[in-house]
Amino acid sequence: MIATKTAAQTEAVGARLGCQLVPGDLILLEGELGAGKTTFTRGVARGAGFKGRVSSPTFALAHVYRGKRLTLHHLDMYRLADGDVSEVGLEDLLRDPKAAVIVEWPGAVAEGWPRERLEVKLAHAKAGRTLRFKARGARAKALAGKLA
Ligand SMILES: Nc1ncnc2c1ncn2[C@@H]1O[C@H](COP(=O)(O)OP(=O)(O)O)[C@@H](O)[C@H]1O
Ligand SMILES: [Mg+2]
């Protein structure tokens, strides 16, 4: 568990993760509205070498950040019902050989995530936020180990 007091600190944890990401990595972000999922993603994109604007793709469903080192697909499934997932073209994004994928509100897709993935649970805490990592698979374990 990591506790952060400010948005900048949450972003910094994200940046540490972003530096480590390679194509094929999948990050699922859980946590209620305002927990810091987009803030965390902003850091991940920075770590991946992306300099532009990072914002919630709530309406666009997906944003793409082309960093120097890596492409990052940023999805937000908040507005998706289970059956609409094909609209996002998730399968194609996961197969993008140059890209990692990070997903807000992954719960819209109940089943069918690749087995290898890093789950990050963000939550409000008294003095900020907490970030908890659940590594699914060896690759995710290695990633999480570098964050602790
Ligand atoms: N420790 C913290 N970590 C992340 N965000 C924080 C923190 N403290 C305050 N905030 C604020 O909370 C809000 C989080 O919003 P956002 O990242 O969009 O959440 P989500 O994507 O989970 O809905 C931002 O306005 C951010 O500045
Ligand atoms: Mg968000």
Report yes or no: 2 and 13 within 8 Å, Cβ to Cβ: yes
What is the number of domains present in the chain? Answer: 1
Q: Which domain holds residue 102?
A: 2-147
How far CA 49 is from CA of 43, 86, 135, in Å, comes to 10, 29, 24
82: pLDDT strictly greater than 90: no
Q: Is the distance from CB of 90 to CB of 75 less than 8 angstroms?
A: yes
Q: Best substitution site from 39, 56, 129 to test ligand 1's pocket, by max atoms within 8 Å of Cβ?
A: 39
Q: What is the pLDDT of residue 112?
A: 75
Task: For residue 11, give the CATH number of its domain.
Answer: 3.40.50.300
- Give the pLDDT confidence of 30-78 residue by residue, as tens digits: 999 999 999 999 999 999 999 999 999 877 788 999 988 899 999 998 8
Ligand 1, closest atom to CA 29? 22
Ion ligand 2: residues, Cβ under 5 Å: 37-38, 56, 104
